[in-house]
Structure 1
Amino acid sequence: MQRRRWIGVLRTPLGLTATALVVAVLLLAVLGPVIWSGRANAVDTGNILAGPSAEHWTGTDNLGRDIFYRVLVAGRLSVELALAATAIAIAVGLLLGTAPFLLGRRLGRLVTGAVNVAVAFPGLLLALFFAVIFGVGATGAVLAIGLAGAPVFARLTQTLVAGLAARDFIAAARIAGVGRIRILFRHVLPNIAEPLVVNATLGAGGALLAFAGLSFLGLGVQPPAYDWGRLLYDGIGAIYVNPAAALAPGAAVLLAGLAFNLFGETVAKGLGVTRLGARRGAIPRPVPEARAAQDEPVPDVVLDVRDLSVSFPGPAGEIRPVRGVSFAVRRGEALGVVGESGSGKSLTALAVSRLIDAPGQVDAERVEFLGTDLRGPDTRARQRLLGTSLAMVFQDPMTSFNPTQRIGGQLAEVARHHQGLGRRAALARAADRLRAVRIPAAERRIRQYPHEFSGGMRQRAMIGLGLMSTPALIVADEPTTALDVTVQRQILELLDAIRQADDVALVLISHDVTVVREVCDRVLVMYAGRIVEDLPAHELTSGARHPYTRALVAAVPDLDTDLDQPLAVIPGRPVAPAEFPPGCAFAARCPLADERCRAEDPPLSTDGAGRRVACWHAGETIAIESSVDELVEAP
């Protein structure tokens, strides 16, 4: 398909014209000095400053040398210097553009600020500035034009890298403990290569014109060497006597620059790339949870989280979308996390996996994974632990894989990085893991790209990626959202089978209460960034004590739902993270709320059976049951 696209593009008038011009310019640069160097340098004192004639098509210069042949020969130096300047612009631009990704937020902001200042200046002014610094001559001009073109290339690179850094496959590589430099070269640069190639091709044409301009001003190539700009400078002196002396090198610069720019447009079409050109209130901290039972040692705990909070800076102060979350997951246990969008489910998972980047801040009394404290700076041992024992299954399988890398190579990276396997052994392990997640013809599939997999197969492969090592915990963030019902069931059955076979703990984040009830042993219900109820999954339908949990369950249609009536919804909207009210965040949507609910935030209290609930009316079972119809109303 890609080959057909290129053939189709090259057959268009633009493609044919651009390709012919570029080939002609390159052939002239290679063959010109070889064929016409002797005639271009031959001095004829009898024909000094002669006009156009049959013998000299564009006349001669002040030594009687043929200007036409000198233009042909000057093509090599002009193209070489333009390409050298373009290479410098690309190299420096890549260094500056990827610096924020490699150096982190603080140093990266300094680099970004410097690039923004440089981009604000016209390129020609920057080139003249650097030309004065580096001095007159070809070397100084190459450096000047290269550095003058670097800021634009750096800005483009920064934009592309920033957009890619938020993709799931980058997060997966970070969880696996892959270093930033390796991520940059293996995952980032291949995915931004196409627009960079297009802009580099276009930049070569601009560099050619800029170099001719510097030579014309006397700051570039110096005699006895000559390029098109130098010939244009010499021809201007005799323009009233012999206009062709200036028109010939000028036409060469124009055609060569046009060739590179048209070819850049052709490359863009061939690659399918487009040229880039409320009042905030204070955030109340949740009331500390009464967790005497939680402080007792829990046997066989895989993940232990206490008082976890995630915050981000806002226009009017700190915004805390996750507030005081505490839970523990035992080996082999399936823990479900449910709640409406914006309740903090995914942010909690990302915080536990150490995927919250600056300016986000994660605070916790305790975050222990397999007995290792995950707070504090990264270490090699911690990266290895997360890369081998924690598997993250993201919501969108298409963004979970690097589209430029084969599936087998991406799975094998974990085994090569953490287990020290060779390439062949790692690929064999990858094929084995694909078979383990029920993907047929695994040996053939490992050589395919992500777009060659269906949605369900990509999600299976993502699970297989997590199984490349021996994970103790699988965090599945909405793993079936983009899949149809049949494939959804297969993925859930696969996760459950892996959990039971290998005694792996599972944290399943979902909007679907029914899915969580069927797959999980225990359920955490989150609202407004905190846990409002923690109960066994089999009690979700009949034993829920929080009004919000009951509303979620009642809003799910079943076989007894009257199809002639509108579907039930929870009235009102979830509270925005920057606008948490005092008291219970659910009070504005709850018919049981009273003045105490609106003034005091209820703590997450634990009963004798280990169930937890944060509600002042949790004990009012009869009142809650009679209020469900009021709580869940039709739109």
Structure 2
Amino acid sequence: MLRTPLGLGAAALTAAVLVLAVVAPMLWTDDANAVDTGNILAGASGEHWAGTDNLGRDILYRTLVATRLSVELAVAATAIAVLAGLVLGTAGFVLGRRSSRLVSATINIAVAFPGILLALFFAVIFGVGATGAVFAIGLAGAPVFGRLTQTLVAGVAARDFISAARIAGVGRLRILVRHVLPNIAEPLVVNATIGAGGALLSFAGLSFLGLGVQQPDYDWGRLLFDGVGSIYVNPAAALAPGAAVLLAGLAFNLLGESIAKALGVGVVGGIPALGPAPVSLAAEDAPVEPAGHDGTDLVLDVRDLEVTFPGARGPIRPVRGVSFGVRRGEAVGVVGESGSGKSLTALAVSRLVGEPGRVEASRLELLGHDLRARDSRAQRRLLGTSLTMVFQDPMTSFNPTRRMGGQLAEVARHHQGMDRRAALARAVDRLRAVRIGDPERRAHQYPHEFSGGMRQRAMIGMGLMGSPALIVADEPTTALDVTVQQQVLDLLATIRAADDVALVLISHDVTVVGEVCDRVLVMYAGRIVEDLPAADLAGSARHPYTRALVAAVPDMDTDLDQPLAVIPGRPVDPADVPPGCAYAARCPLATARCRAEDPPLESDGTGRRVACWHAGEPIAVEIADREEVEV
């Protein structure tokens, strides 16, 4: 910032104002208060550069001395605006969706009013004087900071490291203080600096109107009010305090703009200068006994899971009647195209679907504990220690403003009651367990100093701070090169084998799922359409969609002279699911019955489930030379 002429000039001007606010009262208070009845309302002269007031006091000295009170009041009003704005902007994050709607409506209404009206309104409530004006200007600026904070918080709250903290059972207030506020501090500081300039102008305006500082105290606005009365006799009496307001306001605004430009932070207006509820739906499919359920070693038991969001034309259900179970030590893969409901199913199981989404199920249990119950300390502890969520993007899995060791240690401190040193030692040990070299040094580094594969392994290490019984990995190898992908998958397999941990692996890569998992769930349009052993995925799949997914993956035997296999058409829009089988429009086996009746997910008695009226029937595929083959 200081390398640019504008930034250097703004910094110098702001520093001059602040220095003057400190030294001026110490040097010139006596001269400013000296009464000379023989020299009343004198014009500018060599003795009095800006003339005198109606008591013969030197206007220039009074303008210089008034710097302290003017700046102090502007800073106080800015502090009130920022604090009130933080409360308003973070209320929705801390209190929940319903409270957020009320706060948002309040902010929107307040922002719609001009700043001068709000300031005058609050000035009447708090009364005439400096104190009342401080609160009036501060509260008038709060809605703008509240809107800014609300927007910034919403952006950070969507990051994966916030979801990780929630899974770890960290309370909302602690997440706000430790994870959210540090990541929005820069734009808030920048806008507060600019807001101080606006507050300075606003305060001068209220004092000029007689609602601010009262005699015998004086600030620039009060001096400007007094000077206007003699402007035709001595124009300098109004010019001096007016120039001071202009220069100081300009200094704060230019400084904020320069900092914003240097940091690449957007700014909004600071303190203004004077101038349908979710609808519950029952499951359409009949309850299905999850495959492999024996009642003894079931880690995760999901029955009739539905996720509903409100939409313009009625409720949208991106997850519809999903039922499955995961046993201890078992690896279950979930595959399907984008938008099929894979990740949303994982978020629902982890209790990470926020308002306005609604999660419903006839059964949703982790280690026998009902996850449908109201949020409690015991449930947060269960999710924080027994369930590990590995997110898709490792870059957003950690708070960029905190060191890696501290982020891992937070889990142990929060759930296991360890002190800071013991928790950090545990974090170093977990980094070593996930094969991160030199873990002592790495624990003191920031996320950007880790490679993508290291961040993904560190994310797994965070989950191992407790004793997880279930790992939910949502596309854990996305954006990683092939070698690092294999390292991450090998690490998950090692953890699973060593501690008998259950694994739910969500992926687009059916080949990886077939190699890593014991069982595969194929999802389409929010439903499980096939549940089969991973060994049967490549050659014995019965649903046309499953076979199309497998055929679309090239291998070493793929004929390079022929076009690659594709699935015709586009996935179904969750807001417009057609009647009957959702895959019918893209299925070569579809009949009139498929378009009219939705097939239930039924077991064939061998541990496999499939939802298709034509399961297992051969499909004739037309290739480039117009020859038909069966697959």
TM-score range, shorter chain: over 0.9
**Paired residue for 2:241?**
249
For 1:56, which of 36, 48, 58 is the aligned residue? 48
User: For 2:459, what is the secondary structure of its paired residue?
Assistant: helix
**1:287 CA displacement:** 5.1
Which runs of structure 2 are paired with 1:147-226 in the superposition (5 Å)? 147-226=139-218
User: For 2:250, what is the secondary structure of its paired residue?
Assistant: helix
**Paired residue for 1:6?**
none
Deviations for 1:386-439, whole angstroms, at most 9, x for unmatched residues?
Answer: 000000000001111111111111101100000001111111111111111111
For the 8 Å contact 1:283–1:579, the answer to whether it is kept is no
**Paired residue for 2:474?**
477
Q: Residue type of the partner of 1:226?
A: Y
In 2, Cα distance between equivalents of 1:292 and 1:235: 86
In 2, Cα distance between equivalents of 1:313 and 1:549: 30
In 1, Cα distance between equivalents of 2:221 and 2:492: 68
Flag the 1:562–1:626 CA change in 2: closer, same or farther, 3 A: closer
For the 8 Å contact 2:44–2:50, the answer to whether it is kept is yes
In 2, Cα distance between equivalents of 1:527 and 1:261: 54
In 2, Cα distance between equivalents of 1:74 and 1:386: 58
For 1:354, which of 332, 351, 354 is the aligned residue? 351
For the 8 Å contact 2:292–2:325, the answer to whether it is kept is no
**Paired residue for 2:429?**
432
In 2, Cα distance between equivalents of 1:483 and 1:163: 25
Identity rate, percent: 77
For 2:301, which of 295, 301, 304 is the aligned residue? 304
User: For 2:82, what is the secondary structure of its paired residue?
Assistant: helix
Flag the 1:287–1:626 CA change in 2: closer, same or farther, 3 A: farther
**Paired residue for 1:491?**
488
In 2, Cα distance between equivalents of 1:395 and 1:491: 12
Aligned residues: 620
Where does the alignment leave 5 or more consecutive residues of structure 1 unmatched?
1-8
For the 8 Å contact 1:283–1:580, the answer to whether it is kept is no
For 1:69, which of 55, 61, 65 is the aligned residue? 61
For the 8 Å contact 2:20–2:68, the answer to whether it is kept is yes
Which runs of structure 2 are paired with 1:273-284 in the superposition (5 Å)? 273-276=265-268
Q: 2:96 matched to 1:79?
A: no
TM-score (norm 1): 0.95
Flag the 1:476–1:43 CA change in 2: closer, same or farther, 3 A: same
Which runs of structure 2 are paired with 1:365-404 in the superposition (5 Å)? 365-404=362-401
For the 8 Å contact 2:162–2:179, the answer to whether it is kept is yes
Where does the alignment leave 5 or more consecutive residues of structure 2 unmatched?
270-278
For the 8 Å contact 2:622–2:628, the answer to whether it is kept is no
Flag the 1:408–1:206 CA change in 2: closer, same or farther, 3 A: same
**1:108 CA displacement:** 1.5
Deviations for 1:228-278, whole angstroms, at most 9, x for unmatched residues?
Answer: 11110011011011100100000000000001001111221333312246x
For the 8 Å contact 2:43–2:234, the answer to whether it is kept is yes
User: For 1:474, what is the secondary structure of its paired residue?
Assistant: strand
TM-score (norm 2): 0.95
Q: Residue type of the partner of 1:262?
A: L
**Paired residue for 1:328?**
325
**Paired residue for 1:520?**
517
**Paired residue for 2:9?**
17
In 2, Cα distance between equivalents of 1:290 and 1:184: 40
Q: Residue type of the partner of 1:374?
A: L
**1:316 CA displacement:** 1.2
For the 8 Å contact 1:551–1:631, the answer to whether it is kept is no
Structure 1 segments (4+ residues) deviating >6 Å: 282-286, 624-633
Which runs of structure 2 are paired with 1:503-542 in the superposition (5 Å)? 503-542=500-539
Q: 2:136 matched to 1:144?
A: yes
**Paired residue for 2:406?**
409
In 1, Cα distance between equivalents of 2:402 and 2:420: 15
Structure 1 stretch displaced more, 171-180 or 266-275: 266-275
For 1:126, which of 115, 118, 126 is the aligned residue? 118
For the 8 Å contact 1:550–1:628, the answer to whether it is kept is no
In 1, Cα distance between equivalents of 2:135 and 2:310: 41
Q: Residue type of the partner of 1:250?
A: G
**Paired residue for 1:89?**
81
Q: 2:450 matched to 1:453?
A: yes
User: For 2:41, what is the secondary structure of its paired residue?
Assistant: coil
Q: Residue type of the partner of 1:409?
A: G
User: For 2:53, what is the secondary structure of its paired residue?
Assistant: coil
